[in-house]
């Protein structure tokens, strides 16, 4: 099956493991999915990914609801100042850093409550 793989993705690889993968293979990962949120910024990993053309993708962007992230005073103040939710602030923070995000909700009502207007998409 030589020549069939065009892209690979990895999850939770630290930079040294990514480097091992790149050294011993002809293809570098296109994406590394790592835990990343305001309490776990992963700046070194993100810089390494950028240097090597690897997309950083965040999982657990909301700390899986732990640490009262949705009530955090700094995040809440930023959200209130801009008329946004803490979730929107976190998503924007990640997006501005070039991080792809996998948001999730365990509540069916929240998943269904996604309203999008095409005219706002630009």
The answer to whether residue 49 scores a pLDDT higher than 70 is yes
CA distances in angstroms from 102 to 14, 64, 106, listed in the order given: 19, 12, 13
What proportion of the chain, given as a percentage, has pLDDT over 90?
A: 50
Specify the pLDDT at position 112. 59
Q: What is the distance between the alpha carbons of residues 58 and 93, in angstroms, rounded to a whole number? A: 12
More confidently predicted of 61 and 119: 61
- Nearest-angstrom CA–CA distance, 65 and 70: 7
Model pLDDT, residue 113: 56
């Amino acid at each position: 099956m030589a020549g069939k793989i065009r892209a690979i993705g990895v999850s939770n690889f630290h930079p040294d493991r990514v480097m091992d993968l790149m050294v011993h293979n002809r293809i570098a990962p296109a994406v590394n999915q790592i835990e990343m949120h305001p309490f776990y910024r992963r700046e070194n990993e993100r810089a390494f990914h950028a240097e090597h053309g690897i997309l950083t993708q965040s999982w657990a962007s909301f700390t899986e609801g732990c640490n009262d992230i949705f009530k955090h005073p700094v995040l809440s103040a930023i959200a209130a100042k801009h008329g946004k939710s803490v979730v929107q602030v976190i998503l924007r923070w990640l997006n501005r850093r070039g991080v792809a995000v996998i948001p999730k909700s365990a509540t069916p009502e929240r998943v269904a409550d996604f309203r999008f207007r095409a005219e706002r998409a630009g």
